[in-house]
Amino acid sequence: MEKKKGAGIRTAAAILITVLLFTMSGCAFFDKIHTRIDPRASRISSPEIVRNLVMAINDPAAIGDAYEAIPESQRKDISYSYFYEYISIISSIGSSRAKIESFEYLDSEENKLHLEKIYNKVCQKMPTGTFEETFEPYGDLHTVRLIRSGNEDEDIFIYISEDENKDAYISANWVMHTIAIYNYIEHYFNMLNSLNSEGIAVLIENKPEFKDIYSPEVILAKADYTVDFYNYKVKGSTDQFVLTSINAFFVDYLIPEVLSNEGQQIYSRHVGAFRKTEGDIEITDDIPQELDNSLITLNVSLGQMLRCGVEYDNSAITRMLGKPVRISVIEDNINTVTDTEGNEITEKKISVQYKGVHLIFDAYFKTDGSWSGKLIGIKLVRNSKVSYSACDIKLGDPEDSILKRFPMIKYGEYDLEYSNTTGKYVLSYFVKDGAVSDIYICKVE
């Protein structure tokens, strides 16, 4: 009888120790033990809230239990559907799907620096209030780092609020704003997947500066370019993008594989969305404008062209354009060399001028006056009879024509750089009174 009694006492003690260990460890045994908090409890501690969140993140089947275990006063105005969606979003962060094995609260200094980093990123996107005003809707935020098994370097953050009485709760504003920004970028991805340029254009118009300065045609050109970029340059589908971070203000995804313009290299890039304090959301997707050798090419006639960096002689230029109006020396006696026949030839920088276009060469002159050299610059000149174009844009064309041709460049910034094996070149459009006034293509040192 005494032996049975002693065994019972030892069993009870072992159970008690196990419970105490779980309670004290705070972050362990998530995969083996599901805590059950009395739903009638008026309040639970901040770590208990986090434990229930982690339980739900680790096991979708436990989301309902976790929701019920958090007293209503500490998840106020968060419906079960919102809670479920929020947990699903947090669960999808990172490339790993390993379970959360521990968590830690950032100390006061780390927490301040972390929130200031968010605040500074907000300030970069739009004018905002003070730090306190920006975070006021969310209470006193405390940042918790969740650590996945075997992947300690992939940070996942969740945020627990405290009210003026230092009572912990989950901010409904934070949860709903996080869900809103996540759903917005998912909508963007859906538009890309369905090649819906009109839908993308509507999202692009959400940037007030775009709507104010770009015509509907330019915005649609931006949308078309965006769809083509994802269709032809991005490898894989949007469900292969990696959610790297999300909070109530912005979301960031990593696109693992993107083809370079030449299609020979693969790089990664980021796309995200940004929620403004007044509630609007903007996509942040800085797609590069693809530039090629058409930037440094002058189409002369059907099947004939002149390209910077290519060597021509005076007879070839005459065959294509006829006799020049004038040849002017810009820089004389740059260099003197001897050709294979023993003749001295002198290098000069010259301007070969025609009606409608001036061509700049680094040219070597022979003693008989003939020359050959590399084309290093093109200047289009207004002429009533002859009208050349650079990338299908002529002098006098409306400014919109530049933005339609190069939809991803910034308004007013019309210096486009292109490099190849012969050097670095810049195509520059100048605008006056809403129309293209000058066009230059030149090699830069």
Residue among 417, 359, 350 at smallest CA distance from 388: 359
What is the per-residue pLDDT for 10? 43
What is the per-residue pLDDT for 422? 92
**Interior CA angle at 41 toward 171 and 165, to 5°?**
50
Report whether pLDDT(209) > 80.
Answer: no
What is the per-residue pLDDT for 85? 98
| pLDDT > 70 fraction of the chain, expressed in percent and rounded | 88
Highest mean pLDDT among 36-50, 207-221, 243-257: 243-257
Q: Indicate the SS3 state at residue 361.
A: strand
Average pLDDT, the chain: 87
Residues 100 and 26 sit within 8 Å (Cβ to Cβ): no
DSSP state of 234: B
What is the per-residue pLDDT for 294? 93
310 or 334, greater pLDDT: 310
Query: Rounded distance, CA 238 to CA 358, Å?
Result: 48
Tens digit of each residue's pLDDT (9 = 90 or more) over 12-63: 444 333 333 333 334 443 443 344 445 445 899 999 999 999 999 999 999 9
Q: Indicate the SS3 state at residue 201.
A: helix
What is the per-residue pLDDT for 163? 93
Amino acid identity, residue 246?
I
What is the per-residue pLDDT for 406? 97
What is the per-residue pLDDT for 263? 67
270 or 210, greater pLDDT: 270
Tens digit of each residue's pLDDT (9 = 90 or more) over 347-386: 899 999 999 999 999 999 988 888 999 999 999 998 877 8
* Residue range 315-333: mean pLDDT, rounded: 92
What is the per-residue pLDDT for 278? 67
Residues 6+ apart with CB under 8 A from 79: none
Query: Rounded distance, CA 59 to CA 65, Å?
Result: 10
Instruction: Write out the two tokens for 406.
Output: 């190069």
| pLDDT > 90 fraction of the chain, expressed in percent and rounded | 69
Highest mean pLDDT among 268-282, 378-392, 426-440: 426-440
Report whether pLDDT(1) > 80.
Answer: no
Give me the helices (H) in 34-136, please.
46-58, 63-69, 80-91, 108-125, 131-135
What is the pLDDT confidence band of residue 335, given thresholds at 50, 70 and 90? confident
Query: Rounded distance, CA 296 to CA 284, Å?
Result: 30
337 or 243, greater pLDDT: 243
* Residue range 294-300: mean pLDDT, rounded: 92
Instruction: Annotate 383-426 with DSSP letters as a single string.
Output: -SS---EETTEETT-BTHHHHHHSTTSPTT--EEEEEETTEEEE
Query: Rounded distance, CA 290 to CA 312, Å?
Result: 28
> For domain 177-284, which architecture applies?
Roll (3.10)
Report whether pLDDT(401) > 60.
Answer: yes
DSSP state of 264: S
What is the per-residue pLDDT for 38? 52
Instruction: Annotate 149-198 with DSSP letters as a single string.
Output: TTEEEEEEEEEEEE-TT--EE--HHHHHHHHHHHHHHHHHHHHHHTT-HH
What is the pLDDT confidence band of residue 260, given thresholds at 50, 70 and 90? confident
What is the per-residue pLDDT for 78? 96
Tens digit of each residue's pLDDT (9 = 90 or more) over 173-184: 999 999 999 999
- Domain edges within the chain: 23-170, 177-284, 293-444
Residue among 442, 403, 397 at smallest CA distance from 422: 442
Query: Rounded distance, CA 437 to CA 380, Å?
Result: 10
